[in-house]
Structure 1
């Protein structure tokens, strides 16, 4: 994805080979220090880098080379980078799986020999032969990556693994080949092959489980991406159909869509008709009828009919691509708490290495009398290795991004698209919600709510036909609502012939049918024609009190009907507002409509505070005023006039059926345009932040407790020392527990 920012561009690239949060910090650091790059952020959980750079100063190839020098890789292929990343991750997963199985298979006999046959003369040699391939072949990636990091003066989790397993193995190999060194000093030549082998096996198993868990959190993106077909049937200039890749489709191409196929790109129906399942966009399970001129969206599913369509948006411009992009950006963004975690991860590894050296020095200086078995050097080595193993920062690095990814995926399941992690974190603090009226609380489309015939009308069918023909010619925005209402009564425009038509701006319209003149418009027009409206004034006033627009229909001598038109309130709006208020959140109505309509809508949905006739700038100032009171404000809107307020709000939510500008500005998009999604989004935010806090608590507590125990702090009082093998198991389980806790969000009921 590319975004222009002045003379610079911002692109998101998949990153390969990252194995921990410290890896992400290293990649981010090298990118930031690359000449021509003004900013870069790397997300470990999403395995992506967002880079803002000047393409005149630095090329994509240079960025890739910089990342490769650290032992990682940057996918710069513009054709289909996500597909390349997915394939690479799948290969990496399969390789990791094979290495893990191999490491476990070779480690088990080493453990058995070390536990039950430790006094057998051949045990050290067999263990050496079995553990060597585990440490240096199946675990070679840790040494390779540690070396590449070390060349740049950096250290990460791979550094810890390489140091701990390498030192344990070499120490054991020395004791196996030259046991006399210890025998001459009256000591036993202990070996720790099982520790080195099992650490590699456990860490590999933990990585395998993490990779699988991370792939589960990204399932929403893959499902969205799979909604677009790979090939389409394009109509050629000679009238024939040709199957071509969807990437070859251009704007203006004619495509053939058959029953059961997915719509390949956004477009318009040209010929034919069908029903299309648009639940992906609207959330509604009922298929939508599509005839000539109807809009189509990529990823939706054609039902039984077939039609030909013309492409209007292709590639990254389609709504489906827009949805995928928003989810990807959200999963790649960092919550403010994650920025703190990244800083900690950047210094964590060097600190742990310092603690390991201090542990070694303390045990060495403590003297032989205080060491188990009377060997201070061996015990100093063992405890320092244990510190290095148990301190791997996987759990810390996964604490925030996995929860964010699962939370965003959960939102996508409920048609809530979250554009960045910050809004997901801020949502749980919202204590004031500001709602636009039209298209947010209401349907956003005027419809006829009341149709009252005045007096006995035996010729209703004829009058309906006249009304339909008259309004079909009108350009008034409410005319379409009348036409639609008459159509529902079974009458279509054109059933009678208008011999004369005149639009009366600001008042209505008139037309002639079979020599008779008819009028439709407001009460001013009726009075101008000398028609008496007093007989219907009571009914008209009652309708106006309900925030409905009253239209009169008359012939040359009398009023024929009253027509009430309104933008109806969505069925779920009142319940959603009540839910927010029950949670202690104040709800405000902010609209550019007149005070009477605003009051009627506010009363109908239970809002006590409303502001009418608000211009776009007024809406932005209203949000600022609430924020000045210390409120954390969420703004919900759908129009261009809401854009300023959406940008000003702490958390902004746009209706999916609203304007593109509103959706671009807002941090969240409610695809179904259902107001019930607002309390769902805020609840999701609360649960996600709770999960992050739980993850961080356990990750920090784990290291605060585990590192001192590994260093031997309990030995003077209790004689307890942690074995490196158990430290490796605990480290792997801590990472898995954090990911598993994050995945619990998937079962959250919103």
Structure 2
């Protein structure tokens, strides 16, 4: 009976069983309690290794206080949850499961990661254990299986030796040989199983974190406020949104669709969607986008696009596709191999010293260090973390290796035919006031302008910073399309901003009296000039490439502060120029509009298109939304931390691995015990990555207002 109301998504029957509305169907939840501190939830959608439902449940409960563990069991299509009943009621867990189940998704969920075969490895561990403890005759069988399953690595080691190289395959072969010669077959079998386990773990973790990123970009909403033709508000399901609907969104909530404001004024964080780095003031008839978050002020808007047709859904789709390709990207695999290869020779040399100082048992304990799993664990997850951080800057990463290649770039090539490159910045021109001293006034107005949400706010912040003034956020009293009112101490301050034209003056009233006018002007040089100057200071060579006349291009280059330029270049000449850089080993970054990026992308080391991502897609490695060349600086700075972040994560394995060496020389460890410590090393890397990813999850900007 409860489901006769279309706004009801779940209910209980007389036996307290959960019934849920999922789409057009009503189904019973299969919930049971194996013990007082565990809950078992079974559902057909839990059958996949990274089933969307399992990811949603993990996202809702994984970090909740009172949850001890969550174990997804794809074979039985279930998830087992252990919890502390003193800290978390079972009814709360049930509610979160229901919420995860009824949440609609505007984008397709990510595909299951490629499976890491564990059956043979697990069988080998079992055979080795039987041979070690019960039937020694089984040990040669286990050894034979290990040789067969690792024969391709032996071949790679021989190939490396033929090229005079020492790497992970040779290290792995030495470990296999030493383990068989010394009879430590079980130790190698456990190590082989561990390597495969960590491979499977990072793939599943990558899928989980990708789902978290998609939720940040396009959050799943339980219910939305739909205003009917009679003006009555009713709560409806997000999948019922249609173009033409009138929706209301309150502060702190996420806008569920693209549309046009029809009532109210709000300050909106839309940085993920449009690339605008600061909150934006929205009022009729301006456009709002799904995935944006209301910071201040309720609004009502008319829906234009919903679901998979929104801009946020397009961004989420691209992020999902890129993340899915990370495990298959050869350049990232090569980077992991290179980091592992660096440790092979020192480890083998240490093992050689151990052989001379002790025995093959010592050698085996030394070789059971694990420097290999760390890079393979760190690179995919750090890549996803940086894709997420780039998204916070308005940049959509479209290729898994884009940020790695951006970190390697040293020569910036700019599209001189893109007019946006020469767009001027905005600065405070003057303050016209009856007051003799303007510092306190500037400080107050700069604080109030935090709620202004346009380019004038940035100009005022910059002017205050140049005067050494600390800007504080005041209490907001009123926010309207043409003005905003704040409370500063015992005074009421009104900023009259007649329209959103960045060159229009701001008229200031204090306690009802007109006090001052703040006037603005465009900078005599392009806004991008300051960013280009910073990039040059970081070691970039910057080249302006254009089809225009040489003298015109020279003039534009001077405006940008660039000394390297080339004019009268047609498309073929531009290709030859980029190919010439590549042939000399110069790794170029091409920053341009979408058409140029499509034509020249294959000739540059990495391409950034400064466009808005649409349905048709953009042929570039990275799409920097908003079209602001000045935003290049933050993206390049982020890429410069990419490799250091990977190396820092892998260094978490240092201490346990050194303990393996010390214990081996001290005669305290064998292959098995050394392997256990080596797994602690990899667990340290895994733990540090999880913390980093958790901290990196985007949190909405919060601007507190007066009650």
Moved more, 726-735 or 659-668: 659-668
Query: Which residue number in structure 1 is paired with residue 685 of structure 2?
Result: 737
Query: Which residue number in structure 2 is paired with residue 95 of structure 1?
Result: 71
RMSD over aligned Cα atoms: 6.1
Query: Which residue number in structure 1 is paired with residue 513 of structure 2?
Result: none
Provide, for residues 530-558 of structure 1, a one-character-per-residue CA deviation record: whole Å limited to 9, x for no partner.
xxxxxxxxxxxxxxxxxxxxxxxxxxxxx
Equivalences for residues 482-497 of structure 1 within 5 A: none
Q: Give yes or no for contact 2:397–2:623 (8 Å, CA) kept in 1.
A: yes
Q: How far does residue 296 in structure 1 lie from its aligned partner after superposition? A: 1.0
Query: Which residue number in structure 1 is paired with residue 421 of structure 2?
Result: 441
Query: Which residue number in structure 2 is paired with residue 432 of structure 1?
Result: 411
Distance (Å, rounded) in 1 between the aligned partners of 2:669 and 2:213: 46
Q: How far does residue 433 in structure 1 lie from its aligned partner after superposition? A: 0.9
Query: Which residue number in structure 1 is paired with residue 376 of structure 2?
Result: 397
- Indicate which of 327, 332, 338 corresponds to 2:332: 338
- Indicate which of 638, 650, 658 corresponds to 2:605: 650
- Indicate which of 591, 596, 602 corresponds to 2:557: 602
Residues 100, 724 of structure 1: CA spacing in aligned structure 2 closer, same or farther, 3 A cutoff? Answer: farther
Q: How far does residue 651 in structure 1 lie from its aligned partner after superposition? A: 0.7
Equivalences for residues 285-324 of structure 1 within 5 A: 287-324=279-316
Distance (Å, rounded) in 1 between the aligned partners of 2:300 and 2:267: 13
Q: Give yes or no for contact 2:381–2:689 (8 Å, CA) kept in 1.
A: no
Query: Which residue number in structure 1 is paired with residue 535 of structure 2?
Result: 580
1:678 aligns with 2:657: no
Q: How far does residue 316 in structure 1 lie from its aligned partner after superposition? A: 2.6
1:164 aligns with 2:125: yes
Distance (Å, rounded) in 2 between the aligned partners of 1:659 and 1:201: 43
Distance (Å, rounded) in 1 between the aligned partners of 2:378 and 2:658: 16
Provide, for residues 319-340 of structure 1, a one-character-per-residue CA deviation record: whole Å limited to 9, x for no partner.
2223333333333333434345
Distance (Å, rounded) in 2 between the aligned partners of 1:224 and 1:702: 36
- Indicate which of 219, 240, 262 corresponds to 2:254: 262
Query: Which residue number in structure 2 is paired with residue 248 of structure 1?
Result: 240
Q: How far does residue 587 in structure 1 lie from its aligned partner after superposition? A: 0.8
Distance (Å, rounded) in 2 between the aligned partners of 1:157 and 1:599: 62
Q: How far does residue 586 in structure 1 lie from its aligned partner after superposition? A: 1.7
The secondary structure found in structure 2 opposite 1:94 is strand
Distance (Å, rounded) in 2 between the aligned partners of 1:575 and 1:429: 22
The secondary structure found in structure 1 opposite 2:302 is strand
Equivalences for residues 365-380 of structure 1 within 5 A: none
Query: Which residue number in structure 2 is paired with residue 589 of structure 1?
Result: 544
Provide, for residues 223-266 of structure 1, a one-character-per-residue CA deviation record: whole Å limited to 9, x for no partner.
61464633222344665443222222233433333455322111
Distance (Å, rounded) in 2 between the aligned partners of 1:634 and 1:282: 22
Distance (Å, rounded) in 1 between the aligned partners of 2:300 and 2:627: 29
Q: Give yes or no for contact 2:336–2:379 (8 Å, CA) kept in 1.
A: no
Residues 392, 303 of structure 1: CA spacing in aligned structure 2 closer, same or farther, 3 A cutoff? Answer: closer
Residues 691, 742 of structure 1: CA spacing in aligned structure 2 closer, same or farther, 3 A cutoff? Answer: farther
Query: Which residue number in structure 2 is paired with residue 688 of structure 1?
Result: 642
TM-score, normalised to structure 2, is 0.50
Q: Give yes or no for contact 1:637–1:662 (8 Å, CA) kept in 2.
A: no
Distance (Å, rounded) in 2 between the aligned partners of 1:697 and 1:275: 43
Q: How far does residue 608 in structure 1 lie from its aligned partner after superposition? A: 1.2
Corresponding pairs, count: 463
Q: How far does residue 683 in structure 1 lie from its aligned partner after superposition? A: 4.3
Q: How far does residue 74 in structure 1 lie from its aligned partner after superposition? A: 6.5
Equivalences for residues 604-623 of structure 1 within 5 A: 604-612=559-567, 619-620=574-575, 622-623=577-578
Bigger proportion of residues as helix: 1
Distance (Å, rounded) in 1 between the aligned partners of 2:582 and 2:135: 68
Equivalences for residues 446-595 of structure 1 within 5 A: 569-571=525-527, 573-591=528-546
Residues 270, 673 of structure 1: CA spacing in aligned structure 2 closer, same or farther, 3 A cutoff? Answer: same
Distance (Å, rounded) in 2 between the aligned partners of 1:292 and 1:100: 47
Equivalences for residues 76-87 of structure 1 within 5 A: 83=56
Q: Give yes or no for contact 1:217–1:409 (8 Å, CA) kept in 2.
A: no
Q: How far does residue 639 in structure 1 lie from its aligned partner after superposition? A: 4.6
Distance (Å, rounded) in 2 between the aligned partners of 1:702 and 1:207: 20
Residues 411, 740 of structure 1: CA spacing in aligned structure 2 closer, same or farther, 3 A cutoff? Answer: same
Q: Give yes or no for contact 1:410–1:746 (8 Å, CA) kept in 2.
A: no
Distance (Å, rounded) in 2 between the aligned partners of 1:84 and 1:485: 46
Distance (Å, rounded) in 1 between the aligned partners of 2:384 and 2:126: 33
Point out the structure with max Rg over C-alpha: 1
Residues 273, 688 of structure 1: CA spacing in aligned structure 2 closer, same or farther, 3 A cutoff? Answer: closer
Equivalences for residues 376-391 of structure 1 within 5 A: none
